[in-house]
Amino acid sequence: MIKLSKRLKTIAQQIEIGQTMADVGTDHGFLSLYLWENGRCPKVIMTDISAGSLHKAIEAFERRFSHSDIHFRLGDGLAPIEESEVDVVVIAGVGGVLMTHIFESDLSKTASFRRYILQPRNGSGKLRYWLDQAGFKIVSELLAEEGKRVCEILVVEPPQCIEARPSLDDYPDEIEYEMPRNLAGKNEKTFKLFINEKLNIEKQILKAMIDGKTEDIEKKSKIENRIKFLEQIDANLDVILEA
């Protein structure tokens, strides 16, 4: 039986027994294989823009199963999936901005699925901003360790209709958008790792600015404020996780 990483296992646990799912950018297909093998999803669709990646998924399944409700489709984003064809769409391991482009390619189709599970590799702040502007509901968020990284996982539901095309041009670049909301499975160790990871990045940026003797006072002040914000969260972790 297939074994998943903590990241993929956490994603799999957000899918209810009996729900159909599509894995966009499936690569090796391990998530779909696990869901099918454990009887969680009666129908799985694996899509990838790369024929080579999709072939890896096909090989993994062919060694175990051959069934009419297992689908492999070559294509970009949501294009290979029909409107409302599945209950849940998973998009994991790509940038948050790329996710917004996938949604924007067909807003009607984007709104037709019941739920999305999103795991952005980066750009989670811009993704949350776009989701807010489009009227999505962030149902819950989770954190999962993978190697030295802490991955963010968002469980979201689209509105019945996305009336206006959101734009990232007005993104305020506020660190609050980079923080998880409705955090489920509140694990202090993982959350602390997540905050410290972000703190280290901000401190490295500030050090580079100081070493380079930057004259951009406004940008330097913004980084300092981001560090203070993260340090306050780190200092009040117990209170935040109990909220």
pLDDT digits (tens, 9 = 90+) for 156-173: 999 999 988 899 999 998
Q: Which of 8-12, 211-215, 216-220 comes out lowest in average pLDDT?
A: 211-215
**CB within 8 Å of 67: residues ≥ 6 apart:** none
Helix ranges (DSSP H) in the chain: 6-12, 30-37, 51-62, 96-104, 107-110, 124-134, 188-211, 217-235, 237-242
Give the closest residue to 23 by CA, choosing from 41, 5, 3: 41
What residue type is assigned to position 45 of the chain?
I
68 pLDDT more than 80:
no
What residue type is assigned to position 115 of the chain?
R
Q: Name the CA dihedral angle for 166, 171, 172, 173, rounded to a multiple of 10 degrees.
A: 140
| Residues pairing with 91 in the sheet | 24, 118
Kindly tell me the sign of the dihedral angle through the C-alpha atoms of 211, 214, 217, 221. negative
Residue-level pLDDT at 165:
86
Give the closest residue to 180 by CA, choosing from 154, 147, 148, 158: 154
Residue-level pLDDT at 214:
75
Rounded CA-CA distance 195/200 in Å is 9
Residue-level pLDDT at 187:
81
Residue-level pLDDT at 3:
84
Give the closest residue to 115 by CA, choosing from 180, 238, 21, 209: 21
243 pLDDT more than 80:
no
Contact 31, 53 (CB under 8 A): no
| Residues pairing with 44 in the sheet | 21, 70
148 pLDDT more than 70:
yes
Average of pLDDT values for 25-33?
A: 92
Residue-level pLDDT at 63:
73
Contact 38, 61 (CB under 8 A): no
Average of pLDDT values for 121-149?
A: 95
Contact 40, 17 (CB under 8 A): yes
Rounded CA-CA distance 151/122 in Å is 9
Average of pLDDT values for 50-72?
A: 85
Residue-level pLDDT at 64:
72
Rounded CA-CA distance 44/52 in Å is 19
Residue-level pLDDT at 183:
84
Give the confidence band of 61 by pLDDT, cuts at 50, 70, 90: confident
62 pLDDT more than 90:
no
Tell me which of 49 and 1 has the higher pLDDT: 49
203 pLDDT more than 70:
yes
Residue-level pLDDT at 239:
67
Rounded CA-CA distance 156/158 in Å is 7
Residue-level pLDDT at 131:
97
154 pLDDT more than 90:
yes
177 pLDDT more than 80:
yes
Q: DSSP secondary-structure letter at 16?
A: P
Average of pLDDT values for 5-33?
A: 95
Residue 34: other Cβ atoms inside 10 A: 20
Rounded CA-CA distance 11/117 in Å is 7
